[in-house]
Amino acid sequence: MTNNSFYLFFPADFSNGELCKNAEAAKAEDFYFSGLDATRETDNRVGSTITLLSTNQIPGLDGLSLARTDYAPNGGLNPPHIHPHATEILTLLRGILHVGFITSSPENRLITKTLHPGDVFVFPIGLIHYQLNTANNSALAINSFSSKNPGVITIANAIFGSHPPHNREILAKAFQLNTDTINFLQQRFKGNQ
Amino acid sequence: MTNNSFYLFFPADFSNGELCKNAEAAKAEDFYFSGLDATRETDNRVGSTITLLSTNQIPGLDGLSLARTDYAPNGGLNPPHIHPHATEILTLLRGILHVGFITSSPENRLITKTLHPGDVFVFPIGLIHYQLNTANNSALAINSFSSKNPGVITIANAIFGSHPPHNREILAKAFQLNTDTINFLQQRFKGNQ
Amino acid sequence: MTNNSFYLFFPADFSNGELCKNAEAAKAEDFYFSGLDATRETDNRVGSTITLLSTNQIPGLDGLSLARTDYAPNGGLNPPHIHPHATEILTLLRGILHVGFITSSPENRLITKTLHPGDVFVFPIGLIHYQLNTANNSALAINSFSSKNPGVITIANAIFGSHPPHNREILAKAFQLNTDTINFLQQRFKGNQ
Amino acid sequence: MTNNSFYLFFPADFSNGELCKNAEAAKAEDFYFSGLDATRETDNRVGSTITLLSTNQIPGLDGLSLARTDYAPNGGLNPPHIHPHATEILTLLRGILHVGFITSSPENRLITKTLHPGDVFVFPIGLIHYQLNTANNSALAINSFSSKNPGVITIANAIFGSHPPHNREILAKAFQLNTDTINFLQQRFKGNQ
Amino acid sequence: MTNNSFYLFFPADFSNGELCKNAEAAKAEDFYFSGLDATRETDNRVGSTITLLSTNQIPGLDGLSLARTDYAPNGGLNPPHIHPHATEILTLLRGILHVGFITSSPENRLITKTLHPGDVFVFPIGLIHYQLNTANNSALAINSFSSKNPGVITIANAIFGSHPPHNREILAKAFQLNTDTINFLQQRFKGNQ
Amino acid sequence: MTNNSFYLFFPADFSNGELCKNAEAAKAEDFYFSGLDATRETDNRVGSTITLLSTNQIPGLDGLSLARTDYAPNGGLNPPHIHPHATEILTLLRGILHVGFITSSPENRLITKTLHPGDVFVFPIGLIHYQLNTANNSALAINSFSSKNPGVITIANAIFGSHPPHNREILAKAFQLNTDTINFLQQRFKGNQ
């Protein structure tokens, strides 16, 4: 047969941590996830829940990843955060989102937009961004990421909820707050992720 | 001010053909698209329509892209094709899709799955794949691609609808059809894209 | 001695599947293959045979690969196929090749050329291409690929010879053929790779 | 002469914005900077000054960049920030630095170290980090970055000093502060970079 | 038509210096070179001639390049050199080549092999290598490179034939030769490339 | 908690040969090295010593590396060499360095500069370069490399000190020296690295 000495072509990175399958063993379930349509609870401090599908859920995934984000009515917030590894495209399916991102130092320009269902917005890789649901019903977005491991750094949790806590004098100086306020914030964010 | 000699951080590739903006001139509209919720016509030969958002529609896009695909009821087909530059994640919002992809030579394994709303399926980069709507209502999917320019090669159009047409003897030999059938197919696919 | 704390420099990817040698153990044979000058049989359905050298044959190979292709006289065909991972440079040593490739959708332009010994032709990564020997003696080409694993998808084999076979209605609709013709083709390509 | 048809080898990216020289025109000054030994003023709110050398200062630079950081005695702070594009190696020449970085969500582990002259510390790409001079004389560090454009996002400036300012309710909710405190902070960081 | 909003797929880098064609204007000649079969003169100091095909000769080339090397009988030498950007696969068509490469410091292992027609040998990226024709007829090799711009640094020419010449004391110390010998060598290599 | 299904972000390549730690086990020492301020001996043939910090010394390092180079007074030489994997930034802390690099064939331009403390100079990736201390006190430089494994090929050692030695006729022809001189040089460089 022609071409019979060619290697089998398969996703180069089809080897994710625990699971490293070869092409012959691949099956449809490795490329499949069910249940992204189910609404998630948003009963938490910020009023939003992210459900990420990455190689833990879909072993055959490579090069990008997907999430759904649920927002509580009247102020469900996905608080300021950074994805160090991925640009994000948000597609709004329900609700009204006020969204924004900040360009890097020294400019720190805030770029915002109000989104309605059917609107799409791009958050560039490595920039701080957030979304807030201003509708009086819940909101739902589909998030596409340009990496199978986008990563996330939630600013307030990293700064005030670290383990162990930061030195208070450093935070007081960096954020121009007194150490009592820093102490108060560290109590509030303790145990948060 | 600290850090004041650092370059402004901005997407490295924020320069798309005609449009090359610098960070100071960036505005929210460069990251925004409206109207992905509008149903598209599927009144064509195969019964499906793809609406791709790339840097033509969203100048600030980089690293990935997004599409919606509309499928006619009872057999709307996104015919066998390849994205040479991107892995695709399909999220089904409505309808029932029979989907499949084929591993590369010499294996040529066909891997298939039937999808319902809320199901997610991954098509690995560079492999032939297709989707067929088997529901008696229209279907709708959101497609995420791991490149801002996924590219597409629709197999039947490339083989039988090329400009100029292929030599009939070559196609007859490659596809084991007589030249009359090749001629018939070239007439059918003429002018298709 | 100077520089004595520097790491040994060696091909970063000198670790291929089963074989992962360190630099000290490397020997000339790991970079060597003998016998590419021997003519291969072309007594098969399409009249061509590809002999690929990749890391299976040359463990020290990295970043590119090499093949020879033998074509039968009077119509030996390397049928339409795609290398998803590599651009190819073909150098013709013997015979007369009619070659072509097709640009991607929606253009589907067919670009062709007739090659004589000493001619060189480039097939861009991810595009469908083919070669046909129109000389009345056998033809021989050296193929260079821009990846150590170029991959190959032979269109007719993937479409009509998959395991398990495709649903006939899908192929009939995609290729505008009746299901009897699809059935006939699936029988012809059964067992091919 | 041998090899005379080979292209001139030169840094692939020797084309930086305004300046795109070809190899023939390159001169020693394009690879040179003088004066990194001069002490910088640290008389600002946080007590530190960063002097970055990138392609603005050294047109021939590619693949990495360099900075010096001066810290005021007794608390000069390089406040929490992220380099989205680069890992950093800090080499301490003078002073005593308390340094730290925070792993990403959901862990948010704080990893710290006290550095003395001759110590070297690595800050991984995309993670929040800071340095504080605890010596009673000024401190000086050399910073190496794994990109010619490391980028920087200074957290407090991006959050509280953006242009235009963030909506106070969003920051109040995200940081668990009342809007009066947010207002106070936005006044403090106004005009900072 | 399906897929009609997709960008045309084409080699991403089909823009080489002076020539930047778009896909519509591409023609077969952009992917074609004729005359690689013609024997080259080897009447020069080292007794070898390299004919490189890169984007100057084949505008559509991307990701790899090709050369032929002609060697004079009885000692035609391609002297010690480095390709900083490419791994090389040499395919010997005629002659007998003694070939070798040297691993990096501090090992400096010399790995050699004698090649006959049909033999293939790999020279890893960035390592010093050479070939010597020991047959009493001329030799011919096809060279494939893993970059469209492999680059070449011919050691003796760079060291002793630079413009302007190196300081003699530096070379004398580095190569443990007296300055008279260095002077002699600089005269010999003057004007060589 | 929000974002709780996101993968932990950590340096992608935090897995160096023997040591592959996961993020939870990371500790400050993995990112730390002490003692780069200690002066090194330069009592060797060329009068210079390089101390490289890479993942052997700092397991958490990724994307770049660092070295210090000590030069003997009055002619301490870091002899002509190539880093195949990295551009280098040299920062001079003490002494006076005459530095140079050579562009690739066929140009072989020598670009030189005399450096004083506080001067910075860039050596582009893959080009031959050297430094010579012309001060009558010792010199000290900090070297930053754009790869965690820059690699080094010291020209004279690779050419004249290889194991086993090169064929003398090849070197005689390549370097235009008689075989007695080659023999002499091979004795001198024997055992050097």
Which residues are CB-neighbours of F163 under 8 A, at least 6 positions away?
A: E107, E108, E109, E110
In this predicted model, which residue has the larger pLDDT, F105 or D29? D29
Separation of alpha carbons F106 and F108, rounded Å: 6
The domain spans of chain B are 40-151, 154-193
Asked if residue A83 belongs to a known ligand binding site, the reply is: yes
Enumerate the residues of chain E whose CB falls inside 8 A of the CB of residue D5.
50-52
Coil, strand or helix: which one is A145? Answer: strand
Percent of chain A with pLDDT over 90: 79
In this prediction, residue B193 carries a pLDDT of 52
Integer angstrom CA distances of residue E117 from C93, E83, F20: 14, 24, 45
Integer angstrom CA distances of residue E152 from A12, E18, E36, E51: 31, 22, 20, 13
Q: What is chain B's length? A: 193
Our CA-based measurement puts residue E134 at a distance from the nearest CA of chain C, in whole angstroms, of: 18
Type and span of the H or E element at B54: none
Enumerate the residues of chain F whose CB falls inside 8 A of the CB of residue D4.
105-106
What is the DSSP-derived secondary structure letter of residue E165? P
Which residues are CB-neighbours of D168 under 8 A, at least 6 positions away?
A: D179, D182, D183, D186
In this prediction, residue A24 carries a pLDDT of 59
Task: Indicate whether B7 pLDDT > 90.
Answer: no
Coil, strand or helix: which one is B80? Answer: strand
Separation of alpha carbons D79 and C152, rounded Å: 52
What token pair was written down for E170? 């530096």
Per-residue pLDDT of chain F (193 residues; tens, 9 = 90+): 232 223 223 333 333 333 334 555 679 999 999 999 999 999 999 999 999 999 989 999 999 999 999 999 999 999 999 999 999 999 999 999 999 999 998 889 999 999 999 999 999 999 999 999 999 999 999 999 999 999 999 999 999 999 999 999 999 999 999 999 999 999 999 876 5
In this prediction, residue A13 carries a pLDDT of 31
Interface touch A170/D110, C-beta < 8 Å: no
In this prediction, residue E72 carries a pLDDT of 98
In this prediction, residue D106 carries a pLDDT of 87
Mean pLDDT calculated for residue range C80-97: 96
Chains A and E contact (Cβ–Cβ under 8 Å for 3 or more pairs): no
Residue F85 carries which side chain, given as an amino acid letter? Answer: H
Q: What angle do CA E10, E14, E18 make, to 5 degrees?
A: 155
Separation of alpha carbons F66 and F56, rounded Å: 12
Residue to test with chain B: of D52, D133, D147, most B Cβ within 10 A: D52
ipTM for this model: 0.87
Separation of alpha carbons E185 and D41, rounded Å: 52
Interface touch C6/E106, C-beta < 8 Å: yes
Interface touch F149/C1, C-beta < 8 Å: no
Task: Indicate whether D193 pLDDT > 90.
Answer: no
Q: How many CB atoms lie within 10 A of CB E8?
A: 17
Write down the residue that tokens 């993995």 correspond to: F30
Task: Indicate whether E174 pLDDT > 80.
Answer: yes
Contact (CB, 8 A) for C183 and C171: no
Integer angstrom CA distances of residue C68 from C36, E34, E65: 7, 19, 17
Task: Indicate whether E184 pLDDT > 60.
Answer: yes
Interface touch E89/C32, C-beta < 8 Å: no
Residue to test with chain A: of F4, F7, F62, most A Cβ within 10 A: F7
Interface touch E9/B50, C-beta < 8 Å: no
Mean pLDDT calculated for residue range C104-130: 95
What token pair was written down for B8? 């402004």
Of E114, E112, E90, the closest CA to residue E101 belongs to: E112
Burial class of residue B179, CB neighbours in 10 A (0-12, 13-18, 19+) = middle
- CATH C-level class of A33-151: mainly beta
Our CA-based measurement puts residue C193 at a distance from the nearest CA of chain E, in whole angstroms, of: 27
Contact (CB, 8 A) for C131 and C78: yes
Torsion angle, alpha carbons of A39, A43, A48, A53, to 10: -50
Out of D105, D124, D146, closest to residue F60 by CB = D124
Interface touch D132/A170, C-beta < 8 Å: yes
Coil, strand or helix: which one is E35? Answer: coil
Give residue-wise pLDDT tens across range E133-169: 999 999 999 999 999 999 999 999 999 999 999 999 9
Q: Which residue of D has its CA nearest to A105?
A: D153
Which residues are CB-neighbours of A102 under 8 A, at least 6 positions away?
A: A108, A109, A110, A111, A127, A128, A129, D153, D158, D159, D162
Give domain C43-151's CATH number out of 3.30.70.330, 3.40.605.10, 3.30.1330.40, 2.60.120.10.
2.60.120.10
Interface touch D77/A173, C-beta < 8 Å: yes
Task: Indicate whether B190 pLDDT > 90.
Answer: no
What token pair was written down for C40? 């291969």
What is the DSSP-derived secondary structure letter of residue F167? P
Full-prediction pTM beyond 0.90?
no
User: Topology of B40-151 in CATH?
Assistant: Jelly Rolls (2.60.120)
Enumerate the residues of chain F whose CB falls inside 8 A of the CB of residue A44.
1-2
Separation of alpha carbons D177 and B9, rounded Å: 29
Interface touch C8/E104, C-beta < 8 Å: yes
In this predicted model, which residue has the larger pLDDT, C15 or C122? C122
User: Topology of E38-151 in CATH?
Assistant: Jelly Rolls (2.60.120)
Give residue-wise pLDDT tens across range A60-79: 999 999 999 999 999 999 99
Taking chain E, what is the end-to-end CA distance rounded to the nearest angstrom? 56
Asked if residue D116 belongs to a known ligand binding site, the reply is: no
Give residue-wise pLDDT tens across range B132-157: 999 999 999 999 999 999 999 999 99
In this prediction, residue F90 carries a pLDDT of 98
Burial class of residue C5, CB neighbours in 10 A (0-12, 13-18, 19+) = middle
Per-residue pLDDT band for B4 (boundaries 50, 70, 90) equals very low
Helix axes B179-189, B168-175, angle to 10 degrees: 110
Give domain F36-151's CATH number out of 3.40.50.300, 3.40.50.1220, 2.60.120.10, 3.40.50.1820.
2.60.120.10
Task: Indicate whether D189 pLDDT > 80.
Answer: yes
User: What's the mean pLDDT when you consider all of chain A?
Assistant: 87
Contact (CB, 8 A) for F86 and F144: no
Architecture of domain D34-151: Sandwich (2.60)
What is the DSSP-derived secondary structure letter of residue F9? P
Q: Which residue of C has its CA nearest to A2?
A: C49
Q: Which residue of A has its CA nearest to D155?
A: A155
B137-173: b (≥16 Cβ within 10 Å) or e: ebbbbbbbbbbbbbbbbbbbbbbbbbeebbbbebbbb
What is the residue-wise DSSP string for C24-67? GG--GGGGEE--TTSPPP--SSSSEEEEEESTTT-TT--S-EEE
Type and span of the H or E element at B92: strand B88-94
Interface touch B80/C174, C-beta < 8 Å: yes
In this prediction, residue F24 carries a pLDDT of 59
What token pair was written down for C67? 């093949």
Enumerate the residues of chain B whose CB falls inside 8 A of the CB of residue A142.
91, 142
Asked if residue B163 belongs to a known ligand binding site, the reply is: no
What token pair was written down for A47? 């009023």
Residue to test with chain A: of F1, F2, F4, F62, most A Cβ within 10 A: F2
Mean pLDDT calculated for residue range C142-160: 95
Of F56, B90, E177, the closest CA to residue A31 belongs to: B90
Phi, psi angle pair for B34, to nearest 5°: -125, 140
What token pair was written down for F150? 């820059």
Q: Which residue of E has its CA nearest to B55?
A: E7
Separation of alpha carbons A133 and A139, rounded Å: 6
Contact (CB, 8 A) for B82 and B155: yes
Asked if residue B85 belongs to a known ligand binding site, the reply is: no
Task: Indicate whether A142 pLDDT > 80.
Answer: yes
User: What's the mean pLDDT when you consider all of chain E?
Assistant: 87
Q: What angle do CA D67, D99, F144 make, to 5 degrees?
A: 35
What is the DSSP-derived secondary structure letter of residue D117? T
Positions at the binding site of F for Mn(2+): 81, 83, 88, 129
Out of D50, D56, D149, closest to residue B3 by CB = D50
Q: Which residues pair with D120 in a beta bridge?
A: D91, F33
Q: Which residues pair with D84 in a beta bridge?
A: none
